[in-house]
Amino acid sequence: MTQTVESLFDSGLERYKAGENAATLIPVFKEICDRSPKSSAAWTCLSWLYLLDDKAKEAYKAAQKAVKINPQDPQARVNLAVAMLETGQKGLRQHVEFAQQLIFVNEEWRSEIAESIQDGLTRKPGWQSLQKVKDWIFE
């Protein structure tokens, strides 16, 4: 029996929170995105996993899809900005500024983004692109 998309997403998230390696979770979230292509959260998670696994081009594409589906998602914007930095894209300032505005109006998003960035820096020490985006967003 196949898992529902929701249960697959929840179990993938739990595995991530338990410290599982990004590379082993990428296929899980790729399947979720294939089965539910309009899920911004799934594309956002997939882009984050790609970033953690040093696959910036794939992360960029996944983050673009997440932002297109849900332009109001600050995490998708952060992921897109980091991927743009890592792939040498231009135009990332608009995504950083938009993420700043989103977390300014929603304290819960602010703490979620701060936690997410801290998690990324813990899992991938010395992650310069993420550190730059963090400094820009929280300046």
- 111 and 119 in contact (C-beta within 8 Å)? no
Per-residue pLDDT at 3: 82
Other C-beta atoms lying within 10 Å of the C-beta of residue 132 = 15
Structural domain tally of the chain?
1
Beta strands in 44-102 (DSSP E): none
CATH number at residue 19: 1.25.40.10
For 48, 64, 131, 132, the CA distances from 128, given in Å and listed in that order, are 15, 21, 5, 6
Q: What is the pLDDT of residues 116-133, one digit of tens each?
A: 999 999 999 999 999 999
Its pTM stands at: 0.94
> Which portions of the chain are predicted below pLDDT 50?
none
Residue holding tokens 């997440």?
A: 66
Range of the structural domain that residue 65 is part of: 5-137
pLDDT score, position 136: 94
**CB distance 67 to 57 below 8 Å:** no
Confidence at residue 135, expressed as pLDDT on a 0 to 100 scale: 96
The pLDDT score that the predictor gives to residue 33 is 97
